[in-house]
Amino acid sequence: MYADCDDLTSAYKLFDKLPQPNVFTWTAIVGFYLRHGMYEKCVQNYGLMKFSGVLPDNYVFPKVLRACAHLLWLEGGTWIHKDVIVCGCEFNLQVCNSLIDMYAKCGNVGSARWVFERMGERDLLSWNSMMSGYVYNGLLDSAVELLGFLRLNSFEPDVVTLNTLIDAYCRMGLFDEAWGVFKQIEYPNIISWTTLISGYSKIGEHEISLRVFRDMVTRGMVSPDLDCLSCVLVSCRHLGAMRRGKELHGYGMKMETTTAIYGSAGAALLIMYAKCRRIQDARNVFELMDKSDVVTWNAMILGFVELELGQLALECFIEMQRLGLKNDETTISTILPVCSLKYGNQIHAYIMKNRYLNSVVPVWNAVIHMYCKCGSIRSAYSVFSGMAFRDIVSWNTMIGGFGMHGHGQAALELQQEMNQSSLCPNSMTFTSLLSACSHSGLVDEGLKLFQRMTEDYALTPRMEHYSCIVDMLARAGQFADAVTFIHKMPVEPDKSIWGALLAACRDYQNVEVGKLAAENLIHLEPEQAGHYVTLSNIYARAGRWDDAVRVRKQMESRGLVKASGQSWIETVNMEIANHNFQ
């Protein structure tokens, strides 16, 4: 009773007076530690129970197995599985469901499936646990396939099943299918909505992510929780939607306690404010967060990364190590992009030795990106080839790395290999592929890819895809084709289109097309002095001095000057000072 009421002091006083505590008493103590997230204590008390000669039963096993799942302690979970068999509980429904969950979360899907296949009876939780395990480990096709077997066994999916399926489709980039499943849910819960919002956010579709959130709020069926707010804040950060972000901050403060909101959504708030260069707001959030929590430091590191202050991010990471805080996958994935090759190699070695990080796909994706950024493309491909599981980000990162270093043909070959896997290329894949073709002069291949993107994969080209095509044609000197392509675009070209064209005109000294590109850029951004300067320089190099002077005078008449260089320096108060130099 005392343990169930969270009065551990009274529970232990009574416990110490018992001559021989039985399994029910131990189960209450183990359950207390589990409820309060004290997972190591939970497992330790299980060990003490066994040491005292008390045999565990089918009530204590699920609790201690859940603790192992939270700790990602596969060795401990396997040891407890042996106890399950010795105690004759291997066919108990609740114990088997807990074993499936433990094995799946510890990355051993094979053992989870082994338990699932040998169960004497299954309930819907068994199927949901197995399906969730597949999704958690990136085996998305297996999760979708399991739904068919679920129905063959006379079970009907519930909202948990369908939410898991939505998650699988979102991770596969199949959002039409995800919406189809969503519409099957009569009363979508907050997890249903958050899964969709998060899914779009993860692939960079932040406008759609916010649109789904607005739809949820408009319907009024469910209220956003802190997890949902965190997902939406990520999209606000990427879009620079400061006003919407502050509104969400205010909503959270009204609905939750200070401890709750900064404990859950604090990281998303800090990074959003940093991205929008609201340094004081970011600092205020940091001060209200728990400094002993790795999430707080991860957010601060990412904040510095967003501000392009890599050295400060590294110093924050080093301070975190000095304080003895344990790194997690987010820490490593965040710090790697700003590492030099030497420091990145050291972190790579650290990952190899770490039992948990060694099995996390996003960590390896970050390692690949680090090597690509540092120019070590062979090391990047070696890591990619050695991955047991790859997600869409793994493929996109490696394809982008090949493209970055002018290995366009290798990028195309990797895309062919990707087609043979269970993953379909998404919008980002084609951006990386088209960029690779552009940097490698593979014009014909790039145009074919652009056509296949719409015809074979039913993807709608976005502005970055059009920009890649224009850049590719212009880099190859095919200015007439580039201009024709721009005029045929179904959307109004933006500054990225005309900017790509103007950059190539400067290199090729194409005055007429350069004039067209510059005039459109000046129309879109009349206050940007750089466009005038570039056009003036093109005229000057062509010997058209009168035109060069005319453009300079036009710039001066609008009170524009070429922007001076800038540096960002952190002050003592963690403010960012802006220093100009000529």
Span between the terminal Cα atoms of the chain, in Å: 74
- At residue 101, the pLDDT reads 93
Q: Which residue range forms the structural domain that includes residue 8?
A: 1-121
- At residue 509, the pLDDT reads 87
Report the C-alpha gap between 321 and 373 in whole angstroms: 25
Residue 67 sits in a domain of what CATH number?
Answer: 1.25.40.10
Q: Kindly list the distances between the CA atom of residue 169 and the CA atoms of 216, 255, 416, 423, 498, in Å, as whole numbers in the listed order.
A: 20, 32, 22, 11, 36
Task: Find the angle CA(8)-CA(13)-CA(15) to the nearest 5 degrees.
Answer: 85
For 375, the token pair is 């120019």
Q: Is there a domain that residue 433 lies in?
A: no
Which residues are within 8 A (CB) of 224 and not within 5 positions of it... i.e. 6 or more apart? 190, 213, 216, 217, 232, 251
Report the C-alpha gap between 113 and 142 in whole angstroms: 11
Q: Is there a domain that residue 551 lies in?
A: no
Q: Is there a domain that residue 103 lies in?
A: yes
Quote the DSSP letter at residue 154.
T
Question: Dihedral of the CA atoms 360, 361, 363, 366 (nearest 10)?
Answer: 180
Q: Which stretches of 36-123 are DSSP H helices?
A: 39-51, 60-71, 74-86, 93-105, 109-117
Q: Kindly list the distances between the CA atom of residue 450 and the CA atoms of 133, 195, 460, 462, 501, in Å, as whole numbers in the listed order.
A: 36, 30, 10, 11, 18
Tell me which residue of 138, 65, 124, 133 sits closest to 98, measured CA to CA: 65
For 379, the token pair is 């090391």
For 134, the token pair is 């597949």
Give yes or no for a contact between 302 and 271, defined as CB atoms under 8 angstroms apart.
yes
pLDDT in tens, 300-320: 888 888 878 888 888 888 888
Q: Is there a domain that residue 356 lies in?
A: no
Say whether pLDDT at 576 is over 60.
Answer: no
- At residue 319, the pLDDT reads 86
The pLDDT of 340-359, averaged and rounded, is 86
- At residue 3, the pLDDT reads 46
Quote the DSSP letter at residue 476.
T
Report the C-alpha gap between 33 and 149 in whole angstroms: 37
Half-sphere exposure of 181 (CA within 13 A, CB side): 24
Element (DSSP H or E) covering residue 505: helix 495-508
- Name the pLDDT band for 527 (thresholds 50, 70, 90): confident
Neighbours of 351 (CB within 10 A): 21
Q: Is there a domain that residue 326 lies in?
A: no
The pLDDT of 380-394, averaged and rounded, is 90
- The residues that bridge with 372 in the sheet, in sequence order, are none
Report the C-alpha gap between 509 and 493 in whole angstroms: 22
Say whether pLDDT at 476 is over 50.
Answer: yes
Tell me which residue of 511, 434, 509, 506 sits closest to 473, measured CA to CA: 434
Report the C-alpha gap between 18 and 9 in whole angstroms: 15
Report the C-alpha gap between 32 and 77 in whole angstroms: 19
The mean predicted confidence, pLDDT, of the chain is 86
- At residue 19, the pLDDT reads 59
Q: Is there a domain that residue 109 lies in?
A: yes
pLDDT in tens, 132-159: 999 888 788 888 999 889 988 889 999 9
Q: Cα dihedral sign for 486, 491, 494, 497? A: negative
pTM of full prediction above 0.85: no
Say whether pLDDT at 15 is over 70.
Answer: no
- At residue 524, the pLDDT reads 87
Q: Is there a domain that residue 253 lies in?
A: no
pLDDT in tens, 43-60: 888 888 888 888 888 899
- At residue 467, the pLDDT reads 94
Q: Is there a domain that residue 579 lies in?
A: no
- Name the pLDDT band for 383 (thresholds 50, 70, 90): very high
Report the C-alpha gap between 447 and 424 in whole angstroms: 19
**Chain centre to alpha carbon of residue 312:** 22
- The residues that bridge with 569 in the sheet, in sequence order, are 577
Say whether pLDDT at 574 is over 50.
Answer: no
Residue 223, SS3?
Answer: coil
Phi first, then psi: give them for residue 91, nearest 5 degrees: -110, 5
Tell me which residue of 529, 465, 522 sits closest to 497, measured CA to CA: 465
- The residues that bridge with 567 in the sheet, in sequence order, are 579
Say whether pLDDT at 572 is over 50.
Answer: no
What secondary structure does DSSP assign to 505-539, as a single string?
HHHHT-HHHHHHHHHHHHHH-TT-HHHHHHHHHHH
Give Dmax over CA atoms of the chain in angstroms.
103
Give yes or no for a contact between 464 and 496, defined as CB atoms under 8 angstroms apart.
yes
Domains of the chain: total: 1
